[in-house]
Structure 1
Amino acid sequence: MINQIKTYTAELFLKEKHTLGESPFYDARTKTLSWVDITEGKFFTLGADGTRRCFSYGQAIGSAVPAEKPGTYLIAGTDGLYLENADGTKPLLIKNLSEYYKPWQRSNDVKADPEGRVWFGSSVDDGIHDASGNLFCLENGKVTVKQSDTKISNGLAWSSDRKKFYFSDSLQYAVFEYDYDLKTGKISNRRILFRMEEGRGITDGMCIDSEDNLWVAVWGGSRIEERSTKDGSLLAVVNVPAKNVTSCCFTGDKLDTLFITSAATSQTGELDGCLFTCKVDVKGLECDYCKLSAK
């Protein structure tokens, strides 16, 4: 029996173009949406009361992740990892990423795991060098490499039973599955969950729902795909009126609405680079929060 693939259509949320919109998060504790424009080096928050704030860093920002203290965020910059506080102060957590990044690399997608460890990737920041990077983890002030020799380190997710880790490496055109040890943070036994079909776009950022299915943004594909973590099969498609869809997260009181980012890079469409939402027939999970302090 062939599974019926559901189809949704995303709606415009904010008609404001972002060169490289990314890293959408919803902090259920404060009902705050957040996202970044990587290229422009800007971090945005939108509170439940409609208050919108913008923080500029003067460098590419790969991601901004809600931290353990409500109202604070870990910012993955090009030269360091910062803690953005509600009062506007920005203590450095890792002062020199050049120890881990090559001069032409920057931070990319970042998330906290279920124990609050910070997982962050690096990727090339120019059109000259071949795609390269690593997936790192910050725990207790120490940085380790979790997956070496990545191409474009992107979406990250953990299963609800805390036994599986999922990772999107865009230019390997695949989402990978690993065994995950909650206590140690160790990942092992990498295998391909699914590959994107040739000519159908590139896997980008993603999130996971309460049924342990992945919602994967497709760069160049104008859509989000819901994929089964059992066998990688396609379950649903969210059509998005922007070509380069970059990431998504679940938002709202019921966590049943996707908040979607996109990029205007090299695109001329009216809605390329805008933000979108889409109500779906499943609930998401509250994001995990970074457990850290400035040192």
Structure 2
Amino acid sequence: MAGVPETIGDIRADLGEGPTWEASKRVLHWVDIPSRKLYTLDPGTGIHKQILLNGMIGAAVPRRSGGFVLAMQDGFYTYEDTAGAVKLLDPEEHLPGNRFNDGKCDAAGRFWAGTLSMSGEKGAGSLYCLDTDLRVRKAVDQVSIANGLGWSPDNKVMYFIDSAARQVTAYDYDLARGSLSNRRTVVALPEGNDLPDGMTVDAEGMIWIAHWGGGQVTRWNPREGTLLERITLPVSLVTSCTFGGDRLDELYITSAKADLSDKEREEQPLAGGLFRLKTRTTGLPAYPFGG
């Protein structure tokens, strides 16, 4: 069993999301979607730095050549301190009511990110892949709330969460081509008021799921569809998680306060906070964008 989550820093995000560990710099990056902020935490010093952007940001990944690649409200962008955010392309220019949400890079440096309808329209989103040559393609359509992504330790399986479906979908993954096949459900959540949100995969191939409205992170065996562990948090809107630290044995967890009532915010003063949990397992490295 893991220990008890601790709060890191005093930031209370409206909608914290997308944590990613940059091992070469020993820092954690994460975003606050509606507040248009990209945060970088140095756990060694406890210092948070922030970048204020011109639009909502769903995910940010470090770029191998420097800076970041961003999944913003209206498409993919690059970011460098000198140039700021520069738009690459918007595969959903014809869908102004959509925005990008969660995103992550595969081991080949491709950036996978999905969209959702800001008005809640079902099936209006898609999952896209931005390749290292900066060309984009649609990989999955009819998505309602594109969310968590992850890959098995051998990179032969990709996991994807459409929150509205209340399940984790797996695909056989061809890393050389970045192609998906053999879609199936590996984790089906029981009925409830919570939704599966962001996720990560550990070195044993088990998947960790953040529960929006459930106040917890759960660990599952995707080969058997069985629940292995529950981590309870003092906030209800748990959004995502990733492994970090020098040994990749620290689970960083993001949360939100945006949809809470005034009473719920009083009852959950840590809502929107960033949490850290020392675990007995290790995670997989996060990969930078390769283009």
Smaller-chain TM-score range? over 0.9
How far apart are residue 33 of structure 1 and its match?
Answer: 1.0
| In structure 1, distance between residues paired with 2:109 and 2:16 | 24
% of aligned pairs identical?
36
> Residues 1-295 of structure 1: matches in 2 within 5 Å?
6=1, 8-47=3-42, 48-70=44-66, 72-87=67-82, 89-94=84-89, 96-99=90-93, 102-126=95-119, 129-130=121-122, 132-139=124-131, 140-199=133-192, 201-267=194-260, 268=265, 269-292=268-291
Q: CA deviation at 1:14?
A: 2.3
User: How far did 1:24 drift?
Assistant: 0.5
Amino acid aligned to 2:141:
S
Q: 2-side partners of 1:138 and 1:123: how far apart?
A: 17
- Quote the RMSD (CA, aligned, Å): 1.6
After TM superposition, give the deviation of residue 55 of structure 1 in Å.
1.1
Distance 1:276 1:51, change over 3 A: closer
Q: Secondary structure at the match of 1:55?
A: strand
Give the whole-Å Cα distance in 2 for the aligned partners of 1:257 and 1:87. 32
- Pick closer, same or farther for the CA change 1:7–1:49 going to 2, 3 Å: closer
CA distance in 2, matches of 1:280, 1:202: 23
Unmatched tracts of structure 2, length 5 or more: none
SS at match of 1:197: coil
Q: Matches of 1:50 and 1:227 in 2, distance apart?
A: 31
**C-alpha deviation, 1:131, in angstroms:** 5.5
In structure 1, the gaps of 5 or more residues are 1-5
Is the contact between residue 7 and residue 239 of structure 1 (CA under 8 Å) also seen in structure 2?
no
Task: Name the CA distance, whole Å, in 1 between partners of 2:231 and 2:186.
Answer: 20
Moved over 6 A (4+): none
Q: What SS class does the counterpart of residue 164 from structure 2 fall into?
A: helix
Conservation of the 8 A alpha-carbon contact between 1:114 and 1:162: yes
Query: Does structure 2 conserve the Cα–Cα contact (< 8 Å) formed by 1:137 and 1:145?
Result: yes
Supply the AA of the counterpart residue of 1:36. V
Deviations along 1:109-158, one digit per CA (max 9) or x if unpaired, are: 0111111111110011235x445200011112221111110110100011
SS of match in other structure, 1:171: helix
Given that 2:17 and 2:255 are in contact with CA atoms closer than 8 Å, whether structure 1 keeps it comes out as yes
Task: Measure the CA separation in 1 of the matches of 2:123 and 2:257.
Answer: 21
The structure carrying a bigger strand percent of its residues is 2
How far apart in 2 are the matches of 1:81 and 1:222? 31
Question: Aligned partners of 2:122, 2:130: CA distance in 1, in Å?
Answer: 26
- Which AA in structure 2 matches 1:64? A
Q: Deviations over 1:171-194 (max 9, x none)?
A: 001001110111111101111111
Match of 1:3 in 2: none
Q: What is the letter of the counterpart of residue 288 of structure 1?
A: Y
* SS of 1:291 mapped into structure 2: coil
